[in-house]
Structure 1
Amino acid sequence: MTQRRQLVIGAPALLALAACSTMPASNDRPPIVFVHGNGDSAALWQTTIWRFESNGWPRNRLFAFDQPMPLARDDDAVAQPGRSSTAESMAFLKAQVRRVMDATGAARVILIGNSRGGNTIRNYVQNGGGAAHVSHVVLGGNPAHGIWAVPGLREGSEFSGLSPFMKQLNAPKGPNGDEVTPGVQWLTLRSDNNDKYAQPEGTWIGAPGKPTNVSHDGPALKGATNVVLPGVDHRETSFSPAAFAAAWRFLTGQAPQRTDIAPEAEVVLDGRLTGLGLDSNNPASGDFANNLPVVGARLAVYAVDPATGARRGEAVWHKVIGPDGRWGPFTGRSAASYEFEISAPGYATTHVYRSPFPRSSSVLNVRPERPAAADRDAKALVIFTRPRGYFDARRDRIRLDGQTALPGVPPSGAGIATSRLRLAGDVQRSVAGEFNGERIVGLAWPFAGGHLSVLELTY
């Protein structure tokens, strides 16, 4: 194992991080480009962007983009429908960085990436000319040495530590044999032992009891500042308050004034309405996420009673989705709870319930759902989901419809982000989902009428 210096967050680590940067004052902040992970979208950066704004980073210097095909190929060298190669992913990022530089006039940008987004960032900086345009990089939960490194096991995947792609990225650089490209300041953030993709044993990759040849410190890189965030899960390495605080210290040399989110009285909400793809060569594989617009879909926004999920009158916003996928902008109130109703051919009518939005956002993405085969006998279906982290029954206070044991969530480990509650009755009623103090209430809609509900956590 390559020697990689690591800091566990605490007082000494804070001092070390504070010494890492000489970032300009708040009135001259460089642009930040946020890069999402495998199968994800720009929406996952919503709370991180809010925290940067709440500490004075200008909103017009914060950028997050949707990669059209965010899932990696099974073999990076073999074309696969609905998937992107490392080269395609890098080309997308390169184009977005150029777009940001042209729009802002900035000479350099900061890149912050989660999971696979870190692979894309490293590839761009090392092989795509990014070293000339990037000052700082923050990588959260990046599988920098693979999710597995097992001879004969999908060695062509970019997630294999034995892949040509990963070996080339990690080849020694400079006089110290660093794994990171020189001339750029690097920070990695990882969990101590709770990242599903940095485990020495293969439960989360479908190989229980078998060694992955990857350790908990797999996301760390020689030549970077490597910080351990105790207890966080894979996504929380990027999207948690602790991850934000560590990134802010690294970039500015100071602790943030706050890790909560400063509210605005009036909010402007917008985002994209995207869909699900189906591999025509292998229909049995089921749906997979993409970030392509569902043109012609209809979205309606309703104000709802936060205690019951019942609508408070007629829709306060509605729109037919065009080629850009945008469903807004909608001006709302930060104290209000909203339901987003999505109607699109080939999908269930999807009712998405969210907590109030404390600040404006242009990355409030929504997606209609299709019922899985296992759901078809239900009278009503409620999906409880946490996009910016996982459910951990040992660590978190969780409740769904009064039950502490969530369907599909194991009693230990942080590796499942979605629970599907199948109801035996079709009488419309309130269902509450609770997670560490965040509580969302929505209505269960009759499944026979082609409806389903989503309770989507923000935090």
Structure 2
Amino acid sequence: MTTTPFILQRLQRRALLAAATAAAALALAGCATPGTMPSLAEAPPIVFVHGNGDTAALWQTTVWRFESNGWPRERLHAIDVPYPLSRDDDTKPQPGRTSAAEHMAYLKAEVDKVLKATGAKQVVLVGNSRGGNAIRNYIYNGGGSATVSHAILGGTPNHGVWAIPGFREGNEFSGTGPFLTALNAPKNAAGDEVSGPVKWMTVRSDNNDKFAQPDGLWIGQKGKPTYVTAAGPELKGALNVVIPRIDHRETSYSPAAFEVTYRFITGKAPRSTAIVAEKSVVLNGKITGLGVDPADPKTGNFSNNLPLAGATLEVYATHPATGARVGNALLRKTVGADGQWGPLTTQPGVPHEFVITAPGYATTHIYRSGFPRSSNLIHLRAERMADADKGAESVVTLTRPRGYLDPARDAMLLDGARPAGVPEGAGVATAKAKPTGGVRPITAEFNGEKVTGQTWPAAEGRVVMLEISQ
């Protein structure tokens, strides 16, 4: 039997992840053996902080892995920043965006809520990308040194996405700008960039993080040096863990990142990085939309996490092989001011179709594979149809919120073919197809996960999202 390139890629991917977990475990050598549930003393409240332009929903699988290892659900809290994008210049107000100070103030308020609700004295903070900036700012400038026991930063550009003197130094991500320069100031005679009593860990890729690259490709400066290396997310004085081939988001949301995070907090290995299914699943979340960039009102893709009041949601169970609806709607609801669309009780492993309708948006069909556990982080975003897509028969997007797509690393198919327009290097998280042939099944595959939906007509103002959970 001939081994196909995709099967080879998948085997190589699994080998890399196994090696990554083993390598990361060595960095935490000396920890206890796995197999026991964490005690309450070992299971402090954890506050998860998402990255620039992202949402709390990205922590869904990480939360499930903690729960599957005995962490109490009520001690796992993912914040959802209303305006998650940073300002172009941190010193200048910009509609729909937060300054570093505003971001830190929001985190501080959320930590205070968690401490009050749990009665705990301290929390663990786990952040991805820009979320790590807010964590560092809170610990050093917002009183967090007293309320935080551990800080874990995944893919945080601690030394900038660029470090070019005179280039956009007012931006939060400038390594030579005042924000990061102040955070990175030596904390002791050894020149450490972190200090106690907080315990610090960074997690980074060896060379596959799009925001820790020596070339400016991913910031629109192809061929120009950034003066940042793959080691940019490291902090002197912290435990700095390197996991091969993971991408920017996988520094926080991957099984390997969970494994090292769990070890760092508890001093022991998790029983497993697998997600344990529950007998019955209760789902909930928030419906959000897209803001409008005042500088370019036609774009209509300005990320925010504000509830989309008045949106209507229908949820259907679907056939795993065809994407066709099975039975009547499981839920039909028009959301209120809080945007909450649930709760919905369903069975583990059953795939679902979520259909959002709202004025000013395309009818958005989101297909998901089965949910193994309950979650209140099933946040759903209504989409707008791009002008360039309005003449298509159907518009279908493969989307991977918790990581990127890399043809050199990942085995993936969209409608039976390699997704078009996806560059090597783990730099994009979506791939679009415009299938023909009327309403029919369409499948996205990514490293063993398969999501099947239907090709709804674009002429009716409909778009289709096939969402990968891993």
Q: TM-score, normalised by structure 2?
A: 0.93
Summarize the Cα distance change of 1:39–1:10 in structure 2 as closer, same or farther, 3 Å threshold: closer
Q: How far apart, in 2, do the equivalents of 1:73 and 1:11 lie?
A: 39
2:430 is matched with: 418
Q: 2:115 aligns with which of 95, 101, 117?
A: 101
Summarize the Cα distance change of 1:25–1:381 in structure 2 as closer, same or farther, 3 Å threshold: closer
Q: How far apart, in 2, do the equivalents of 1:216 and 1:234 lie?
A: 11
Determine if contact 1:18/1:252 at 8 Å carries over to the other structure. no
Determine if contact 1:18/1:254 at 8 Å carries over to the other structure. no
Letter in 2 for 1:299: L
Q: How far apart, in 2, do the equivalents of 1:339 and 1:300 lie?
A: 8
Q: 2:451 aligns with which of 419, 434, 440?
A: 440
Give the secondary structure class of the aligned counterpart of 2:40. Answer: helix
Q: Which runs of 5+ in 2 are unaligned?
A: 1-18
Give the secondary structure class of the aligned counterpart of 1:124. Answer: helix
Give the secondary structure class of the aligned counterpart of 2:269. Answer: coil
Residues 6-64 of structure 1: per-residue CA shift (max 9 Å, x gap)? xx95767535425589xx94233210000000000000000000000111111111000
Deviation for aligned residue 1:373: 2.1
Q: How far apart, in 1, do the equivalents of 2:23 and 2:128 lie?
A: 25
Determine if contact 1:18/1:253 at 8 Å carries over to the other structure. no
Q: How far apart, in 2, do the equivalents of 1:440 and 1:284 lie?
A: 31
Does 1:430 find its partner at 2:438? no
Q: Which runs of 5+ in 1 are unaligned?
A: 1-7
Deviation for aligned residue 1:267: 0.4
Q: 1:407 aligns with which of 408, 420, 434?
A: 420
Q: 1:207 aligns with which of 221, 226, 245?
A: 221
Does 1:357 find its partner at 2:371? yes
Q: How far apart, in 2, do the equivalents of 1:333 and 1:26 lie?
A: 30
Letter in 2 for 1:325: G
Q: How far apart, in 2, do the equivalents of 1:118 and 1:143 lie?
A: 8
Q: How far apart, in 2, do the equivalents of 1:362 and 1:303 lie?
A: 18
Letter in 1 for 2:108: K
Give the secondary structure class of the aligned counterpart of 1:26. Answer: coil
Deviation for aligned residue 1:423: 2.5
Deviation for aligned residue 1:325: 1.2
Give the secondary structure class of the aligned counterpart of 2:380. Answer: coil
1:14 is matched with: 25
Deviation for aligned residue 1:279: 1.6
Deviation for aligned residue 1:287: 1.5
Within a 5 Å distance, the mapping from 1:31-110 to structure 2 comes to 31-110=45-124
2:466 is matched with: 455
Q: How far apart, in 2, do the equivalents of 1:129 and 1:452 lie?
A: 45
Does 1:392 find its partner at 2:406? yes
Percentage identity across aligned positions? Answer: 59
2:39 is matched with: 26
Letter in 2 for 1:416: V
Give the secondary structure class of the aligned counterpart of 1:246. Answer: helix
Q: How far apart, in 1, do the equivalents of 2:22 and 2:457 lie?
A: 53
Determine if contact 1:20/1:251 at 8 Å carries over to the other structure. no
Determine if contact 1:9/1:227 at 8 Å carries over to the other structure. no
Summarize the Cα distance change of 1:134–1:18 in structure 2 as closer, same or farther, 3 Å threshold: farther
Does 1:120 find its partner at 2:146? no
Determine if contact 1:34/1:64 at 8 Å carries over to the other structure. yes
Summarize the Cα distance change of 1:259–1:33 in structure 2 as closer, same or farther, 3 Å threshold: same
Residues 171-205 of structure 1: per-residue CA shift (max 9 Å, x gap)? 00023221113210000000000000000011111
Determine if contact 2:396/2:434 at 8 Å carries over to the other structure. yes
Give the secondary structure class of the aligned counterpart of 2:113. Answer: helix
Q: How far apart, in 1, do the equivalents of 2:298 and 2:224 lie?
A: 27
Q: How far apart, in 2, do the equivalents of 1:324 and 1:315 lie?
A: 22
Q: How far apart, in 2, do the equivalents of 1:193 and 1:325 lie?
A: 39
Does 1:314 find its partner at 2:328? yes
Determine if contact 2:31/2:268 at 8 Å carries over to the other structure. no
Determine if contact 2:286/2:380 at 8 Å carries over to the other structure. yes
Summarize the Cα distance change of 1:243–1:12 in structure 2 as closer, same or farther, 3 Å threshold: closer
Q: How far apart, in 1, do the equivalents of 2:336 and 2:194 lie?
A: 41
Within a 5 Å distance, the mapping from 1:83-232 to structure 2 comes to 83-232=97-246
Determine if contact 1:189/1:227 at 8 Å carries over to the other structure. yes
Letter in 2 for 1:98: D
Summarize the Cα distance change of 1:284–1:342 in structure 2 as closer, same or farther, 3 Å threshold: closer
